[in-house]
Amino acid sequence: MNRRIAFQGEPGAYSELAAFEYFGAGIKPLPCASFEATFAAVTDGTAEYGLLPIENSLAGSIHRNYDLLLESDLMIVGEYHLRVSHCLMALPGTTLADMRQVHSHPQALAQCKKRLRQMSLEAVVEADTAGSARMIKDSGDQHAAALASKRAAEVYDLHILQKNMEDNPANYTRFLALTAQTAPGNTDGDFKTSIVFSLQNQPGALFKALSVFALRDIDLAKIESRPIQGKPWEYMFYIDFAGHAQAESGRRALDHLGKLAAYLRVLGSYPRHRVA
């Protein structure tokens, strides 16, 4: 039975492309209208897994998904770094000489700003990349193109006029694979663990919390803070560290942190994906 994978966006979205690359071609993708709906689909069992973006190498963190991780009971079981390559696509039979406008999400347009200026194309902002590709398909406009993923060109039967439109090739989005149930596995190997915790507002509290990892030579891959709702100027801290939560060094660090933290939760330990 093919696994159903929830993602935010329309068919052809970068999140759907990431789902196929991470889970395999045999999945049944489930498009969801929002991040909240994606979490809900996995929580209620409509989908077995969800694949959610958490950060982009150029644009930074996706804060809403950090908040939703805290609000839900889902566990992180994997990560995937998708190389974001924007393709310029249009209706079959059209050429670059026919193009006057290009439609896409504002972030995609910004990431291709120099190339679009060189090509003298007018940028038109749309709600998302895959939606802009669908709009070109539906409109029949021979003078308009979309910036979207190669998957969007396949879904909407569009012709790719130019690949790799992005100005900066070091453009990656990190996705998290989430599920409602996890089974204990082997702690050996190249793992990453994600946690969230809060601290009492005391001098040196964050220094002491971070020291539990430094004392054990545990590498911290990421630190993110998010405001605690209803408590002005108090924060939740999200940390990714190298290693498994059940390995000896990770377990000792978390036991130590638990004595310092007002709140501590392990969001998941999962195989680390490294960009080649």
Spatial distance between the Cα atoms of 30 and 50, rounded to a whole number of angstroms: 9
Map residue 3 onto helix, strand or coil.
Answer: coil
Which ranges in the chain belong to alpha helices (H)?
A: 14-23, 35-43, 63-71, 106-111, 113-118, 129-139, 150-155, 205-214, 248-260
The Cα–Cα gap between 242 and 223 comes to 12
The distance in angstroms from the start CA to the end CA of the chain is 31
Q: Which residues are catalytic?
A: 173, 175
Residue type, 257: L
Angle at 244 between CA 237 and CA 207, to 5 degrees: 35
Q: Closest by alpha carbon to 22, among 1, 61, 52?
A: 52
